[in-house]
């Protein structure tokens, strides 16, 4: 469960670090990816925000 979460969060961070310029859409996409990862691993988002 946590392996999947760690992998997906790492992928989102790697996506951001590969950009020359980070724009709001890049951040929104990364946050959405992380939210989906939390939901897939049954983490309560209210506890994280």
Residue 36 within any structural domain of the chain? yes
CA-closest candidate to residue 39, choices 47, 21, 19: 47
Return the DSSP state at 20. Answer: S
pLDDT at residue number 31: 92
Residue 13 within any structural domain of the chain? yes
Residue 12 within any structural domain of the chain? yes
**What is the domain count for the chain?**
1
pLDDT at residue number 41: 84
pLDDT at residue number 32: 92
Residue 29 within any structural domain of the chain? yes
pLDDT tens track for 1-49? 778 889 989 988 988 888 889 899 999 999 999 888 888 887 776 766 5
Domain with 32 in it: 2-44
pLDDT at residue number 45: 65
pLDDT at residue number 40: 84
Residue 49 within any structural domain of the chain? no
Residue 40 within any structural domain of the chain? yes
């Amino acid at each position: 469960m946590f392996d999947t979460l760690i992998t997906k969060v790492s992928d989102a961070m790697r996506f951001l670090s590969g950009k020359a310029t980070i724009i709001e859409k890049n951040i929104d996409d990364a946050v959405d990816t992380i939210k989906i990862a939390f939901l897939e691993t049954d983490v309560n988002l209210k506890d994280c925000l």
